[in-house]
Amino acid sequence: MSELVRLEVEDGIGVIRLDRPKMNALNAELQRGLGEAAAEAGRRDDVAAVILYGGEKVFAAGADIVEMSEMSYAEMAEHSRLLQGFTRDLAAIPKPTVAAIAGFALGGGCEVALCCDFRIAGSNAKLGQPEILLGVIPGAGGTQRLARLVGPAKAKDLIYTGRFVDAQEAQQIGLVDRVVEPDQVLAAAQEMMAPFVGGPALALRAAKQAVDSGLEVDLQTGLEIERSLFAGLFATNDQKAGMRSFMENGPGKATFDGT
């Protein structure tokens, strides 16, 4: 894994830390590192949930413009596969994920945050997709994930104008789920992810797959995805333990082993 990315695991929660001072600009090495960290967090049994974190001052201020500015069309046609690939890897982590955002989450940084299931922002956060100001458009999923999250009109507003939104407006439009003090974003993210540790890992995986896959298809196909995943969970020990516990002790008291 790149030295610009760390996966730190404690108490069942994996923190994928971006570490490229000063602004966590997303160069190719950092992008590859994030993809590798996502894969590792996804396969590790000691990781029940994942936090993406850029530090107390900045989440990620965007792609490395110096690296990209002189690329030809042919070079970008190839590099764009990496842009799409590492964000797909992050979005595909088969566990609950949250972005802990302090400071700037712009361009590629905002697109990284969009890959998560949830977003917690510090009150000092600024989010946006300013690519239009460079004569281009978001290329790491922003046009698609942002529109699915906040709706097409709000997404077009941010993408067409390139303007930044503060944490309060981001919460109002549904771009972030919670706003806290800047020095509390990591702690708030850990608090949010803690209930998933020791939870029914296969059911959580299935729930994420059902929601995410269902957003890509028509309703009837989505219902079939849900039906298949629901039925499949009856082959798990967690389903047996959960229903047995409910009958014997009432709701919310089951112990799961993730199998």
Catalogue the active-site residues: 111, 131
* Contact between 18 and 69 (Cβ < 8 Å): no
Between the two ends of the chain, the Cα-to-Cα distance in Å is 28
DSSP lists the bridge partners of residue 164 as: 128
If you compute the radius of gyration of the chain from its CA atoms, what whole number of angstroms results? 19
Give the closest residue to 121 by CA, choosing from 81, 158, 88, 167: 167
DSSP lists the bridge partners of residue 63 as: 26
Place of tokens 């566990």: 95
Place of tokens 């029940």: 48
Angle, nearest 10°, between helix axes 152-161 and 142-150?
140
Torsion sign over Cα 149, 166, 50, 242: negative
Q: Which is it for strands 118-122 and 178-180: parallel, antiparallel or unpaired?
A: parallel
Reduce the DSSP state of residue 10 to 3 states and report it: strand
Which residues are CB-neighbours of 183 under 8 A, at least 6 positions away? 56, 102, 122
Which residues are CB-neighbours of 128 under 8 A, at least 6 positions away? 106, 107, 110, 158, 162, 163, 164, 165
